[in-house]
Amino acid sequence: MKTMRMIQIMTCFSLFKKLNLRSVFKFIQQGDKAMRFLKCIILLGVFLFAACATEGEVAKETKVAAGKSDSLGEKEMRRIAEIRKTKGGEDPGLIKVIRETPNYTVSQYLSLNPNANNSRTRDFSIGGYDILDVKVYEEPDLSREGIRVGSDGHISFPLIGRIKVEGLTTSEIEKLISTKLAQGQYVLNAHVSVSVKDYKSKQFMVLGAVRSPGTYPVQAKERILDAISKAGGIDFTQGGKQGMVIRTEQLGTDKEEKIVIRIDLSNLLKGGDQVSNLLLADKDLIYVPRAENFYLIGEVKQPGAYPYLEKEITLVEAISKAGGFTQLAARNRTRIVRVENGVEKIIEINVDAITDGGKKAQDVRILPGDVIVVPESFF
Task: Determine which of 75-89, 102-116, 185-199, 320-334 has the lowest per-residue pLDDT on average.
Answer: 75-89
Q: Tell me the backbone φ, ψ of residue 186, rounded to 5 degrees.
A: -90, -50
| 96 contact partners, CB below 8 Å, separation of at least 6 | none
- Please tell me the distance from the alpha carbon of residue 25 to that of residue 39, in angstroms, as a whole number: 10
| % the chain with pLDDT above 70 | 80
- The per-residue pLDDT for 80 is 86
| Confidence band, pLDDT 50/70/90 cuts, at residue 44 | low
Task: Determine which of 60-64, 93-97, 100-104, 297-301 has the lowest per-residue pLDDT on average.
Answer: 60-64
Are 295 and 306 in contact by the 8 Å Cβ rule? The answer is yes
Residue 329 clears pLDDT 80, i.e. is over it: yes
Mean pLDDT of the chain: 84
Are 370 and 113 in contact by the 8 Å Cβ rule? The answer is no
- Residue predicted with more confidence, 241 or 28: 241
Task: Determine which of 54-63, 91-100, 165-174, 210-219 has the lowest per-residue pLDDT on average.
Answer: 54-63
- The per-residue pLDDT for 158 is 95
Residue 46 clears pLDDT 80, i.e. is over it: no
| Confidence band, pLDDT 50/70/90 cuts, at residue 156 | very high
| 192 contact partners, CB below 8 Å, separation of at least 6 | 134, 135, 136, 137, 174, 175, 177, 178, 181
- Residue predicted with more confidence, 195 or 57: 195
Residue 96 clears pLDDT 60, i.e. is over it: yes
The tens digit of pLDDT for each residue in 158-173 reads 999 999 999 999 999 9
The stretch 101-125 carries a mean pLDDT of: 90
Are 155 and 147 in contact by the 8 Å Cβ rule? The answer is yes
Give the burial class of 264: count Cβ atoms within 10 A of its Cβ; 0-12 exposed, 13-18 middle, 19 or more buried. middle
Beta bridge partners of 243: 263
The stretch 124-153 carries a mean pLDDT of: 96
Are 269 and 239 in contact by the 8 Å Cβ rule? The answer is no
- The per-residue pLDDT for 141 is 95
Total residue length of the chain? 379
- The per-residue pLDDT for 12 is 47
| Confidence band, pLDDT 50/70/90 cuts, at residue 83 | confident
Residue 293 clears pLDDT 60, i.e. is over it: yes
Residue 15 clears pLDDT 50, i.e. is over it: no
Q: Is 149 helix (H, G, I), strand (E, B) or coil?
A: coil
Residue 302 clears pLDDT 90, i.e. is over it: yes
Beta bridge partners of 308: none
- The per-residue pLDDT for 248 is 95
- Residue predicted with more confidence, 91 or 322: 322
Residue 37 clears pLDDT 70, i.e. is over it: no
The tens digit of pLDDT for each residue in 242-264 reads 899 999 998 888 989 999 999 99
Residue 16 clears pLDDT 50, i.e. is over it: no
- The per-residue pLDDT for 236 is 83
